[in-house]
């Protein structure tokens, strides 16, 4: 989960850098790789930078949760990660829909990888019904 969180933080940092006129070229390259090229004017720099800040905060929050969840009672930890799973699912659906409707459907590919990795982590951790062999009870 920590690695997943760092991926969100890295993506957030890239978007945050797009918020500055002097580094807007990085954002323009990102947009061009995902769909129609876009010139990062002031409103788009603001939006990208703001989303970068939100992604940074989200990634750091998830990293904090990952670092302490092993100290929680198993039932509490499962409830916590199940609820975070709903947040990830909402992000995935809304982000994918907005991406597709605005010509950036390719953005759904890395989102799917990130979402699937999160789901796998939930499954491996026993949150989605799978019970790891080390903690399985007869």
**For tokens 């991926």, what's the residue?**
7
The residue-averaged pLDDT of 48-72 equals 91
Residues 1-32: pLDDT tens digits? Answer: 888 889 899 989 988 998 898 888 888 888 88
Specify the 3-state DSSP secondary structure of 124. Answer: helix
The residue-averaged pLDDT of 105-127 equals 88
**For tokens 């990634």, what's the residue?**
59
What pLDDT does residue 137 have?
45
d(CA 121, CA 137): 20
Do the Cβ atoms of 65 and 80 come closer than 8 Å?
yes
d(CA 133, CA 20): 49
For residue 60, what are the domain limits? 2-135
106 half-sphere exposure, CB direction, 13 A CA radius: 8
Residues 43-55: pLDDT tens digits? Answer: 988 998 999 999 9
Per the prediction, the chain carries an average pLDDT of 86
**pTM of the predicted model over 0.85:** no
Q: Which of 44-48, 76-80, 95-99, 121-125 has the highest mean pLDDT?
A: 95-99
SS3 content of the chain, % helix, strand, coil (to 5): 80, 0, 20
Q: How confident is the model at residue 136 (pLDDT cuts 50, 70, 90)?
A: very low
**Which two structure tokens, joined as six digits, stand for 66?**
């990952």
Based on the structure, what is the number of domains in the chain? Answer: 1
What pLDDT does residue 63 have?
92
What pLDDT does residue 90 have?
96
The residue-averaged pLDDT of 98-109 equals 92
């Amino acid at each position: 989960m920590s690695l997943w969180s760092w991926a969100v933080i890295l993506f957030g940092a890239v978007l945050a850098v797009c918020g500055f006129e002097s580094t807007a070229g990085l954002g323009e390259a990102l947009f061009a790789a995902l769909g129609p090229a876009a010139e990062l004017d002031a409103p788009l720099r603001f939006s990208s930078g703001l989303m970068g800040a939100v992604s940074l905060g989200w990634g750091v929050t998830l990293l904090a949760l990952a670092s302490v969840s092993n100290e929680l009672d198993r039932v509490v930890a499962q409830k916590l990660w199940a609820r975070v799973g709903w947040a990830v699912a909402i992000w995935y659906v809304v982000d994918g829909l907005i991406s597709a409707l605005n010509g950036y459907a390719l953005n759904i590919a890395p989102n799917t990888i990130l979402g699937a990795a999160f789901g796998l982590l939930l499954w491996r951790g026993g949150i989605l019904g799978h019970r790891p062999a080390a903690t399985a009870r007869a």
